[in-house]
Structure 1
Amino acid sequence: MSLADCCADHFGAGIIRLCNFAFAVVESVRCRLGRTPVRSITTNDLVLWLESTKVPPVLVDVRSDAELSVSRISGAITREQFESDPQSYSGRPVVAYCTVGGRSYLFAAKLVESGLDAVNYRDSILGWCDAGLPLVKADGRPTTDVHPYWRLFKVPDSYQVRMSE
């Protein structure tokens, strides 16, 4: 690994730590203001939930069109699909995800404030990839391509970084 790659990996990891800290502060302030807490789940929590016989969650990918065009978690719908007909998902909890959990936190907070059962998949697509889990293209075909939002965010070598299709 080159020095530039090593620095980029550390910088990317630092950005993720900073995001985690910032959203923890935002959540703390929200709770102190009497707002409903936004629950977060981990990769392991999500995998177990998706494999359980309980009511399956609605998995909502809130990433950009450029990111979505590369890959997503199987079964996920887009934010636009969800928002165009939220009533069709009534009675099912919503799990929002993005790249590192920031955009999905904001979306989950919006849903929680509107009275929906929503959680933030904090690890998001980078956590999914770190666990070596499968991705699919928009048409459902398997892929190892992933759009990490920024090249600074490291993905395992078993995935191919694609910044757009």
Structure 2
Amino acid sequence: MFSSGRFFEVFLLKVILVTSLCFSAVVSANIQAVKAKELLINQMSDAPYTIIDVRTVEEYADGHIKGAINIPYDQIEAQSFLLNELKDQTLVVYCRSGRRAQIFETALFKRGFNLLHLEGDILGWKSQGLPLVK
């Protein structure tokens, strides 16, 4: 059986976990998805979105969406100067499958950025046979 102190620790940990999951779901719900073909059409418009690839430098070099800027999800602070220059633009964020993009989006959402998430991320892009550049 748990001691009262241990019970409180476990209870507090559960509360923190549920709260963080709820906040993460709220952030995700506020960030709309853009379909790959919609993004392609937008990129040919007079007001193209800025595309952010949050994968590693190596993954980016292996193939990325044309025009995407590589800002690895764990380098937000190191790239804060560049990100501040992009704050007035709509950013389309993607990674391999969505996990890292969500971390990046959560951080930038808190700072007031206008964000869209590429539906299916790069795996979805590739599965549709859409082009990548190296």
CA distance in 1, matches of 2:29, 2:132: 32
Alignment partners' CA distance in 2, 1:119 and 1:78:
16
| Residues 116 and 132 of structure 1, relative CA distance in 2, 3 Å threshold | same
Structure 1: any 5+ residue segments left out of the alignment? 1-25, 138-165
Task: Name segments (4+ residues, structure 1) moved above 6 Å.
Answer: 31-36
Equivalents in 2 of 1:134, 1:72: separation in Å? Answer: 8
Q: Which runs of 5+ in 2 are unaligned?
A: 1-20
Aligned to 1:42: 35
Task: Report matched runs for 1:3-152 at 5 Å.
Answer: 26=21, 29-30=22-23, 37-53=30-46, 55-79=47-71, 83-137=80-134
- Name the Cα RMSD after superposition: 2.6
| Percent of aligned pairs sharing the same letter | 27
The change in CA–CA distance for 1:99 and 1:31 in structure 2 (over 3 A counts) is closer
| Matched-pair contact (CA < 8 Å) for 1:99–1:125 | yes
TM-score between the two structures when normalised by the length of structure 1? 0.56
Q: How many residues were matched structurally?
A: 109
Structure 1 range deviating more: 119-128 or 38-47? 38-47
- Decide whether the 8 Å contact of 1:36 with 1:113 is kept in 2: no
In the TM superposition, what is the alpha-carbon distance from 1:82 to its structure 2 partner?
5.3
SS at match of 1:119: strand
* Offset at residue 39 of structure 1 (A): 1.9
When Rg is computed on C-alpha atoms for both structures, the one with the higher figure is 2
Q: Distance in 1 between matches of 2:25 and 2:59?
A: 34
The structure richer in helix per residue is: 2
What SS does structure 2 have at the residue aligned with 1:120? strand
Indicate conservation of the 8 Å contact 1:39/1:120, yes or no. Answer: yes
Deviates more, 1:40-49 or 1:61-70: 40-49
